Structure 1
């Protein structure tokens, strides 16, 4: 496979060094078009120009036949390009937290980020988890069967026996249960294994996936669109399979934050960095808020901006703050996450904040009666001074404080401590 790599929002000329040939770009764009279009807002992974192809704010991996492109996040586009391994490790770390995955908690993953693409890393971690789970035994359940047999097995189905089989007394309509491994959970695992066998380029991963496919030989092959996720009910019997199931959901596209599509000719695993950053912050913040006696609400709210005689009963223009922190039954703080690059306030007083983002949080303050607002951005090396920076909203009424802050997401411990320091929940 011919591998290519782009940074988030990076453009690459067709005649540039390490160029992506126009033919390769066309194939990658076609492979990503459907999956990206199903994301919220009908997005796209690439922009195509006469002289270049450019990535957008979707990151992940796109593969088309023997061509692939890895898109990595890079919020500080003005700084010297970081080593791909560090950015890949950062993305995997965010995915692990946001989707509750066991893919970034060992030394093997740190080594993989230096040697493999994002897709190959996910394949390697999936294989390792699957091998460990299978080694301890595949889950089985009693599955209902109905068949016409020469001897009674289980119980007789009188309706079928005296209707369809009325003229054939040599057969008995039987209904019985079989303790089987051909169940929904194993069908999902097999679907993920078969999908990844088409995509793995590492000889070791191809061999290991082939061995896993043999283990699942007696499990039915079910099309991705026909997988019965609703039949997989978490319980004590399958608890150890839940981390692997979450990773399979990610690969097979059963998540609203990302989208995937796969076949022998194309595959795309794409993440909207705005959504991923929001969920990453929410997952880190939830236990912090709980320990401090606050209630965290991610998304939701949906209070309308407009009501009145000419508005529907539910109102008009629903609001949906990213994070609402409540205490004693009132919204005390609203945090809106933004995956954007801030400028140093010492050189740019407005810090390159979008005016629309200011208007948005001001509307939240009014609708939710909240006097503490925060715009939270990822930190980067290009900022010359520490965040946060507080502003006072002008106008009449109760004073409103808007904090513009950045969060260092280089690792979980640093990000968690950053949230504690920035929000100051324990002292309120």
Structure 2
């Protein structure tokens, strides 16, 4: 894990930890909020697009796969951009890329076009990838190493605030204003109704684009503390003697992050279709979106609680407890029906809450000057969310409920990492925080 924050400002320019860094973290929390908000709009968008374009589950989850494929292709260019222009300019660039993609979604809705929708979601996800590569290690580094997981869980809680509000926002402006969102299950829409439904996407994405541009302007004018030279990529000669692949916690952290993302995205994006089934609750998609907000609300509560708990209990122990809890509730949703299955799936949000930030910080612990490169690999692992198309394929062939056996397997992987795989090997010297940008 990244090392301690300097007790005094370097170069006489950085503010004391209690002031400058606190303000920086507060501002960065807004980034976590926005990318969580935009990502979870997809959870409402997918059942909507499934009706508009008459898609099966495989084609529907392919939309989400394209979103996460962007993490694979954009992670390395993002790391190189950060190295070249710094964290603050990279964050501003990421926000503007997201705004451009959001405006592009209005074009996709106007046509309407499945292909353009995929392309614009890829653009938005590329901007989010840049923010992820910059913000996650940044938050982890600017503070004591023993509270890195706690600090990242805290700002990730604001990410969860965005994910909690997004289903309500999108449910009202997209599903609530569309025929597919308010119709009973199984109702066939006419071509005119599907075209009208597509237009309901325009207003939400225009509003999102405006907020992103305003946030980019604010951050461009804010003096973020800079990371010291020891957090930058090690010199080529030094890197020949330091291999990322000697660090078991990182090597095993990558597939664990992939498994976790597959579990989280599968649950969130199939939730509305799952609970709307006749054997579950037989409610409309619009009504189901409100229950989806509860799932993400549980994630927010869990992250705030996890941030507090990890101040006194080791992160790997907390991760093990939450992974076991997730396994139990997913199994309940898989083997039962009715409201019990729905509420069990809602509880998955609570147990998934601390997984991303905790796996991330455990994986980059002890990397020292290789922290930036290790962080880039962990962000690239988010592309594992693209494998949700596998769950869509399973749902088409074996039934939606049976597809959650894949989710159960993912929870087992996270549990094994918490109990054994997260142990640090070949720990390196820790980086420091330097002057303000």
- Please, what TM-score do these two structures have when normalized by structure 2? 0.27
Would you tell me which structure has more helix in proportion to its own residues? 2
- Please, what TM-score do these two structures have when normalized by structure 1? 0.27
Would you tell me which structure has more strand in proportion to its own residues? 1
If you compute each CA radius of gyration, which structure gives the higher value, 1 or 2? 1
